[in-house]
A and B are shown apart, each in its own frame.
Chain A
């Protein structure tokens, strides 16, 4: 069974930093592109970042480019998101997501970890 378990969310002040983690199990982690997708309160889904299996291809949404860094540790089946210079606009539930057989869609989602940016 595929499992994606996020952690690391919490309350942080504007301008602060936070690092999210995602522990993956139940599949061959090194075979799949992994992503972070977020949902702000009362809003829709927004893709945040993507990393290929070898970390050779990394992409970001314009809204987080230059502030967030995605990474993965294939030896530990783990995905990370380092978030710097946080603002209230980054308040959201952050999901760890695995693509499907192609990179075109998101097949498995974690339950999410909540990030709240507030003074």
Chain B
């Protein structure tokens, strides 16, 4: 079973700063990794799929990179609305299942 470990657990930054969030898989997952943003009271929102592809409507300040076991979500210049919890996610072919990281809380 693949385990996704996100770091840091909490990231404290200010608007305008650059945020770098990490996700490490317990074994290689090729480029099969997605990132989500989750705000209280809202549904999670897909940001990045296949490690580096921005989902529809996602601002260009969000970017994803990495492959194999190590992935990064970068927010180039934080906007007030970016403060939320971020999750990485992978789907394994066998056993067929989806795994989430434990989340990184991005706080002001």
Contact between B91 and A105, CB atoms less than 8 A apart: yes
**Chain A, Cβ-Cβ closest to B43:** A109
Contact of A44 among B42, B49, B102 (CB under 8 A): B102
Given A47-B98, A59-B96, the answer on whether A106 and B103 have CB atoms closer than 8 Å is no
Would you call B36 an interface residue if the criterion is a C-beta within 8 Å of the partner chain's C-beta atoms?
yes
Given A106-B34, A106-B36, A106-B89, the answer on whether A112 and B43 have CB atoms closer than 8 Å is yes
Would you call B74 an interface residue if the criterion is a C-beta within 8 Å of the partner chain's C-beta atoms?
no
Residues of B within 8 A of A50 (CB): 96, 98
Would you call A89 an interface residue if the criterion is a C-beta within 8 Å of the partner chain's C-beta atoms?
no
Contact of B43 among A57, A59, A104, A110 (CB under 8 A): A110
Would you call B50 an interface residue if the criterion is a C-beta within 8 Å of the partner chain's C-beta atoms?
yes
Would you call B99 an interface residue if the criterion is a C-beta within 8 Å of the partner chain's C-beta atoms?
yes
Would you call B16 an interface residue if the criterion is a C-beta within 8 Å of the partner chain's C-beta atoms?
no
- A23-47 CB mask vs B (1 if < 8 Å, else 0) is 0000000000001010000001111
- B73-108 CB mask vs A (1 if < 8 Å, else 0) is 000000000000101011100011111111100000
Contact between B46 and A100, CB atoms less than 8 A apart: yes
Q: How large is the interface on A (under 10, 10 to 19, 20 to 34, 35 or more residues)?
A: 20 to 34
Would you call B44 an interface residue if the criterion is a C-beta within 8 Å of the partner chain's C-beta atoms?
yes
Would you call B55 an interface residue if the criterion is a C-beta within 8 Å of the partner chain's C-beta atoms?
yes
**Chain A, Cβ-Cβ closest to B49:** A105
Would you call A118 an interface residue if the criterion is a C-beta within 8 Å of the partner chain's C-beta atoms?
no
List 19 A-B pairs, Cβ < 8 Å.
A35-B98, A37-B98, A45-B36, A47-B97, A50-B96, A61-B97, A100-B49, A104-B32, A104-B34, A104-B50, A104-B90, A105-B49, A106-B34, A106-B46, A106-B89, A109-B44, A111-B42, A111-B43, A112-B43
